[in-house]
Chain A
Amino acid sequence: MQEAIIKRAKELLADGTVNRVVGWKAGDFAYDVTPAVFTSAEELDKDFLYNDFCAPNLSKYLIKESRKEGKVLVFLKPCDSYSFNQLLKEHRILRDNVYVIAIPCRGKVDIGTVRDSGIKGITDMECDGETLTIHTLYGDKTMSHADSLGDKCKTCKTKKHAACFDEMIGEEGEPNNDGKRFEMVEKLEAMTSEERFNFWRNELSKCIRCNACRNVCPACSCENCVFDNPASGIQQRAAVTSFEENMFHLIRAFHVAGRCTDCGECTRVCPQNIPLHLLNRKYIKDINEFYGEYQAGENFDERAPLNAYTFTDCEPDVVYKRGGNA
């Protein structure tokens, strides 16, 4: 797959269709992949990667890249294509300046999942088909590819791209309707409010306000974030109280509600392993229940339920009907 992608990227660079490529390259470790911009065939040959560690969602980089001189090539995995489409819908990406190639994804290895399995002292990882080999200070360990996925990929919503690409390399996948996506949200809903409060206090108390979740989030693309705006009264600073800590994530979840495509980047980049995507999924689940099934980014023209009003929308008394626990 990587060869095919590099070959096509070189062709498009050579014939002048695009003058740069947004893709992935290795970071400090082989499994630590980072987004990168490539401008020549040499750079592509040297650094371009597409493997089971290429989790980063490239769509957000196009907000800036699509406004630069010339056309940019981007490779989008299925879940990234939804973010891309949502950004298009919000006029954040100039579509004419982007050449999109859809590429398949079978789920990405998550370092957090590997660490959580008890493997320590990781120095490197390689994935060969279904087996993940983990080199550690204490010798090599193995794990199956399926077990090594992050929650984002284990509960993958779809392997089918949103209709926003110019061409496709590989096979188009199918949506995943196994219903596992909302399992954890359902568990949280089933808790008593005290249990749930404790769950979130425990998780959110780990937050160090590094802002990685916000910075990576494709829905968090404001020109001037409220948390950076001195006039907003809630500008960027360390949390004064633990309550503020909690509120940061709740405000952020509200800000992206209805626009979050559930790409899972927030949880993936969180250095404290807070399952932030569960907040967003709760809103997605609520929106589905209140206003009918909706997948942000799936459709370019459809009006988002929070920006539309129909007679079938739920009434506010749904709060009482659902009871205190949901």
Chain B
Amino acid sequence: MQRIGVFVCHCGTNIAATVDVKAVAEELKNEPGVVFTADYQYMCSEAGQNLIQDTIRNERLTGVVVCSCSPRMHEATFRKAAAKAGLNSYMVEVANIREQCSWIHKDKVSGTEKAIILARAAIAKVQLNAPLTPGQTPVTKRALVIGGGIAGIQCALDIADAGYEVDIVEKKSTIGGKMTQIDKTFPTLDCASCILTPKMVEVAQNEKIHIYSYSEVEAVTGFVGNFDVKIRKKARYVDETKCTGCGECTTKCPMKKIPNEFNMGFDNRSAIYIPFAQAVPKVATIDPDHCNMLKNGKCGVCAKICTANAIDYKQQDQIIEEKYGAIVAATGYNHIDVSKYDEFAYNQSKDVVTSLEFERLMNAAGPTGGHLKRPSDGRDPKTIVFVQCVGSREAPPCAKGGKEYCSKICCMYTAKHAILVKDHYPDTNVYVFYIDVRTPGKLFDEFYRRAVEQYGVHYIKGMVGKVAPQGDGTLMVQASDLIANDQLHIKADMVVLAAAIEPDKSARHLATMLTASMDTNDFFTEAHAKLRPVESPTAGVFLAGVAQGPKDIPETVVQAGAAASKVIGLLSKDQLTGNPCVANPDELMCNGCSSCEKVCPYGAITYADKEFRQPDRTVAIRRVAQVNPAVCQGCGACTVACPSGAMDLKGFTNKQIMAEVDAICR
């Protein structure tokens, strides 16, 4: 028989105002196994904790029930207190009589009655509690950052700075991500390349960081502190160790008419290419879809002229296996495809461009050398219309591929575009159509106001209804001005669409491998929206950048640093203490049906063929479930999926739950 002590907390007036705490303490004296009850103003205070510890010692308690706030709040506090007094931490249960009782009741009589019932349930559970001991697992002191954009770069640099090895896996042939394509950055208008490329070089030169460029994560197994990752290093048909990045091959390659992704297709590249001058690693890559040698076995020019002998047409994909203690998902974003938005004539006119395309048209390293020209005829645009929220903040069902959320960065970069245009070409008429202008951020609103007040950009609240290409090459923009309640017809030379951003398509597949959860928009979800914003619910997996939600560069860098600090915190440990409340299969009852394996969100369950002695003294081999306690997060999904009742959760056994229900229904 347990000797249970019950401690009822007033929580100042939080509980005591709605629950008669003295009556609760008095009533619970009659419960089976209860040898001591008390009430106290603040159980979580030092004096409160001392009361618990003294009682454990004096009354030789074997179980403790604290009637207080949510266990999310102070369960850890009370468990630690009990452990200090020599009682196993897991012999402590919390009855939540604040959030689930006093805060939602007005009537003291019913509040008190409910508090007693909740406490009874906790007492019934403690009756069946058993001491639990968490296990220890070692930590592999190496981190994996998936995605080599600014988020991945910052995160890797910070982790390496703390002295840990980091690998970056980047699917493109260079790190740098979207920021390499951006011209200037708001709100200070410094050049994106100028602040990014030094960081890229820093990554390349850091001996703690290894870059797997042109590579993708193939498989992830294992668990926090002990991930086993397979990385597919795609064949680039160029030996990275030999290539000097001289670029000679790119000038001699005869296949020169391939749309250049880096410049959003505004100019061409060759089949063997280096995406841009500051690429890291600065190594050529052969595009197998366009290389004549790889497709037809004819050509071989690059191999002939390469003085470093780096070209290798027979190169194969390589699978690299590596162990990691922590993984950061920094997979970034893309613009949605705006071609379904017929009303904006994106498919019909070259002069309707997306914002990222506009970045290239403004960029000194872009296809026009930084001179803004109309893509159709090269003329200077005199009137430019910017359309915001193309595909953002859309009402369901979002049939054209739009998103219900706000893409967050568009208001600011559109203001930036408007300012840059007006700054370079003051005689240009610039219109911005918006639903709302959202500028929360340091110096953001000032920046936007500068566009309106100093540069005279016409901000018009309203959406563009139609963009119609005209015979003379102009674009007729029909829009409504909601404030003036007017219909506008603007003859524009260019239209720029601020397309919504969405997570990279590879993120969904990656999330499955990482058993990290995602929201309906395929953004990674964080363990807690406010309090654990850079951790995924899967232990050891962290989040950085737009993969977690739309954000701008400063926010991304902040988040990447935060993720890095979490990684460092994890890697600095030699051993990880697990959660002992994990699933525990009864092998004698297990049918080996795999139901639990299928519902396990963490991949914690595997199967083994084991020998069992049968009642008739024969030996039978049966397939039974095995739980890896280091991976199991104790969610309990398996226990309800198990048809035979073989799976149970330590600390929350089926019997304990039933005892709680019975106590409540008594």
Quick check: which of A2-10, A23-31, A44-52, A226-234 contacts chain B, the rest being far away?
A226-234
Verify B620–A233 contact, CB threshold 8 A. Answer: no
Verify A307–B599 contact, CB threshold 8 A. Answer: yes
CA A306 to CA B591, docked complex, whole Å: 18
Verify A233–B658 contact, CB threshold 8 A. Answer: yes
User: Does A120 make an interface contact (CB < 8 A)?
Assistant: no
Verify B644–A226 contact, CB threshold 8 A. Answer: yes
- Pick the contact of A259: B598, B622, B643, B646 (CB < 8 A): B643
Residue of B whose beta carbon sits closest to that of A308: B598
User: Does B335 make an interface contact (CB < 8 A)?
Assistant: no
Interface string of B604-616 (1 = CB under 8 A from A): 0001000000000
- Whole-angstrom distance from the CB of A305 to the nearest CB of chain B? 11
User: Does B595 make an interface contact (CB < 8 A)?
Assistant: yes
CA A224 to CA B592, docked complex, whole Å: 12
- Whole-angstrom distance from the CB of B275 to the nearest CB of chain A? 36
User: Does A106 make an interface contact (CB < 8 A)?
Assistant: no
Interface string of B597-636 (1 = CB under 8 A from A): 0110000000100000000000011110000000000000
Interface centre among A256, A306, A308 (most CB of B within 10 A): A306
Using A221-B591, A223-B589, A224-B589 as known contacts, say yes or no to A91 and B623 having CB atoms under 8 A apart.
Answer: yes
Interface string of A85-102 (1 = CB under 8 A from B): 000011110000000000
Using A67-B620, A229-B589 as known contacts, say yes or no to A222 and B643 having CB atoms under 8 A apart.
Answer: yes
User: Does B533 make an interface contact (CB < 8 A)?
Assistant: no
CA A324 to CA B655, docked complex, whole Å: 31
User: Does A320 make an interface contact (CB < 8 A)?
Assistant: no
Verify A307–B595 contact, CB threshold 8 A. Answer: yes
Interface string of A208-222 (1 = CB under 8 A from B): 000000000000011
- Whole-angstrom distance from the CB of A253 to the nearest CB of chain B? 12
- Whole-angstrom distance from the CB of A283 to the nearest CB of chain B? 13
- Whole-angstrom distance from the CB of B653 to the nearest CB of chain A? 11
User: Does A138 make an interface contact (CB < 8 A)?
Assistant: no
Residue of A whose beta carbon sits closest to that of B620: A67
Q: Which residues of A contact B589 (CB under 8 A)?
A: 222-224, 229
Residue of B whose beta carbon sits closest to that of A307: B598
Using A229-B589, A307-B598, A308-B598 as known contacts, say yes or no to A223 and B643 having CB atoms under 8 A apart.
Answer: no
Size of chain B's interface in residues, with CB distance under 8 A? 23
Using A223-B622, A307-B598, A308-B598 as known contacts, say yes or no to A90 and B645 having CB atoms under 8 A apart.
Answer: no
Q: Which residues of A contact B429 (CB under 8 A)?
A: none
Verify A232–B592 contact, CB threshold 8 A. Answer: no
Verify A223–B595 contact, CB threshold 8 A. Answer: no
Verify B644–A222 contact, CB threshold 8 A. Answer: yes
Verify A229–B645 contact, CB threshold 8 A. Answer: yes
- Whole-angstrom distance from the CB of B379 to the nearest CB of chain A? 48
- Whole-angstrom distance from the CB of A178 to the nearest CB of chain B? 31
- Whole-angstrom distance from the CB of A201 to the nearest CB of chain B? 22
CA A308 to CA B595, docked complex, whole Å: 10
User: Does A303 make an interface contact (CB < 8 A)?
Assistant: yes
Q: Which residues of B contact A232 (CB under 8 A)?
A: 645
CA A99 to CA B556, docked complex, whole Å: 60
A window 257-285: CB within 8 A of B: 259
CA A166 to CA B645, docked complex, whole Å: 34
Residue of A whose beta carbon sits closest to that of B592: A91
Verify B593–A90 contact, CB threshold 8 A. Answer: yes
Verify B591–A92 contact, CB threshold 8 A. Answer: yes
In the complex, number of A-B residue pairs with CB atoms less than 8 Å apart: 53
User: Does B520 make an interface contact (CB < 8 A)?
Assistant: yes
Residue of B whose beta carbon sits closest to that of A259: B643
Verify A224–B588 contact, CB threshold 8 A. Answer: yes
User: Does B590 make an interface contact (CB < 8 A)?
Assistant: yes
User: Does B594 make an interface contact (CB < 8 A)?
Assistant: yes
User: Does B51 make an interface contact (CB < 8 A)?
Assistant: no
B window 640-655: CB within 8 A of A: 641, 643-646, 655
Verify B594–A90 contact, CB threshold 8 A. Answer: yes
- Whole-angstrom distance from the CB of B286 to the nearest CB of chain A? 38
User: Does A255 make an interface contact (CB < 8 A)?
Assistant: yes
- Whole-angstrom distance from the CB of B121 to the nearest CB of chain A? 17
- Pick the contact of B641: A221, A222, A307 (CB < 8 A): A307
- Whole-angstrom distance from the CB of B404 to the nearest CB of chain A? 14
CA A16 to CA B27, docked complex, whole Å: 75
Q: Which residues of B contact A311 (CB under 8 A)?
A: 520
Q: Which residues of A contact B641 (CB under 8 A)?
A: 306-307
Interface string of B251-265 (1 = CB under 8 A from A): 000000000000000
Residue of B whose beta carbon sits closest to that of A67: B620
- Whole-angstrom distance from the CB of A252 to the nearest CB of chain B? 11
Interface string of A279-322 (1 = CB under 8 A from B): 00000000000000000000000011011100100000000000
Interface centre among B589, B592, B599, B655 (most CB of A within 10 A): B589
- Pick the contact of B644: A223, A304, A308 (CB < 8 A): A223
Residue of A whose beta carbon sits closest to that of B590: A223
- Whole-angstrom distance from the CB of B631 to the nearest CB of chain A? 19
Using A303-B598, A308-B598 as known contacts, say yes or no to A222 and B591 having CB atoms under 8 A apart.
Answer: yes
- Whole-angstrom distance from the CB of A269 to the nearest CB of chain B? 21
- Whole-angstrom distance from the CB of B597 to the nearest CB of chain A? 9
Q: Which residues of B contact A256 (CB under 8 A)?
A: 643
CA A224 to CA B587, docked complex, whole Å: 10
Using A90-B591, A90-B593, A91-B593 as known contacts, say yes or no to A224 and B644 having CB atoms under 8 A apart.
Answer: yes
- Whole-angstrom distance from the CB of B291 to the nearest CB of chain A? 38
A window 46-68: CB within 8 A of B: 67
Q: Which residues of A contact B592 (CB under 8 A)?
A: 90-92
Q: Which residues of B contact A307 (CB under 8 A)?
A: 595, 598-599, 641
Q: Which residues of A contact B588 (CB under 8 A)?
A: 223-224
Interface centre among A67, A223, A232, A307 (most CB of B within 10 A): A223
- Whole-angstrom distance from the CB of B327 to the nearest CB of chain A? 23
- Whole-angstrom distance from the CB of B626 to the nearest CB of chain A? 14
B window 504-528: CB within 8 A of A: 520
Q: Which residues of A contact B621 (CB under 8 A)?
A: 67
Residue of B whose beta carbon sits closest to that of A86: B593
Verify B599–A255 contact, CB threshold 8 A. Answer: no
- Pick the contact of B594: A91, A224, A226 (CB < 8 A): A91
Q: Which residues of B contact A225 (CB under 8 A)?
A: 644
CA A311 to CA B590, docked complex, whole Å: 30
Q: Which residues of A contact B594 (CB under 8 A)?
A: 89-91
CA A93 to CA B660, docked complex, whole Å: 38
- Whole-angstrom distance from the CB of B581 to the nearest CB of chain A? 20
CA A311 to CA B518, docked complex, whole Å: 12
B window 455-503: CB within 8 A of A: none
CA A225 to CA B643, docked complex, whole Å: 9
CA A236 to CA B641, docked complex, whole Å: 22
Interface string of B570-589 (1 = CB under 8 A from A): 00000000000000000011
Q: Which residues of B contact A303 (CB under 8 A)?
A: 598
Q: Which residues of B contact A233 (CB under 8 A)?
A: 655, 658
Q: Which residues of A contact B646 (CB under 8 A)?
A: 223-224
> What are 7 A-B pairs at a CB distance below 8 A?
A90-B594, A91-B623, A92-B591, A232-B645, A233-B655, A233-B658, A256-B643
Q: Which 6 A-B pairs have the closest CB atoms?
A: A90-B593, A222-B644, A307-B598, A224-B589, A91-B592, A226-B645
Known: A91-B594, A223-B589, A303-B598; 5 extra A-B contacts, CB below 8 A, are: A90-B591, A225-B644, A229-B645, A233-B655, A307-B641
Q: A residues near B, CB below 8 A? A: 67, 89-92, 221-226, 229, 232-233, 255-256, 259, 303-304, 306-308, 311
Q: B residues near A, CB below 8 A? A: 520, 588-595, 598-599, 607, 620-623, 641, 643-646, 655, 658
